[in-house]
Amino acid sequence: MHVQEWLETVPAVAVYALVGVVIGLESLGIPLPGEIILVSSALLASQHGDIDPVVLGASATAGAIIGDSIGYAIGRKGGRPLLAWLGRKFPRHFSEGHIATAERSFEKWGMWAVFFGRFVALLRIFAGPLAGVLRMPYWKFLIANVLGGIVWAGGTTAVIYYVGIVAESWLKRFSWLGLVAAVLVGLTSMLVIKRKAKKAQPVPAGE
């Protein structure tokens, strides 16, 4: 069953909870499809009045911020042995190459890696735990975590929600064809946002 079709069968409060929990666990460091769940839920909210997009965005934001904070605490306590353990449990996501790439991003960008990491699937999983392992000052992490969570979760919800509203007439006229068009437009919008986020990364002094 498609994610959106399944979401249509559960009450609104369950959708809010699911979005918050899945995104929270992903931000904590567990490889889950948080972005897919959020995009599907926001698109669903544009078609069903019982799902409030503001509450949905708030749930996603809260899950992102709380999950990242827990991941930071775990990473700070577990240290590098934690990364080795994650590599054994999730070799596809926490391979030595992926960890090295994430570490280079943190060394180069610092707290900006946490902020912009929200828009990149790999860094979204690594950001919290790796920031803790690398002993990033918590106040820096918290600022980047909160701002990144608000911009990513709130922005994604808003963009996909309004795309769904605009595409509603298509959905009524062409059924599944309209749905496919709405999803494609939504995903294209997210790719544009991610590309702009990457371009906006600051260049360190001296380079």
CB of 130 closer than 8 Å to CB of 106 = yes
Q: What is the pLDDT along the chain (207 residues), one digit of tens a residue?
A: 455 566 667 778 888 999 999 999 988 878 788 888 898 888 888 877 788 999 999 999 999 999 999 989 988 887 777 777 767 776 666 667 777 777 777 777 778 888 887 887 777 887 888 888 888 888 989 999 999 999 999 999 998 888 877 665 554 554 445 455 555 655 665 566 556 555 545 444 444
Regarding pTM above 0.85, the answer is: no
Q: How far, in whole angstroms, is CA 50 from its chain's centroid?
A: 24
User: What are the residue boundaries of the structural domains of the chain, listed by start?
Assistant: 3-199
For 125-154, give one letter per residue: b (16+ CB within 10 A) or e: bbbbbbbbbbebeeeebbebbbebbbbbbb
CB of 178 closer than 8 Å to CB of 167 = yes
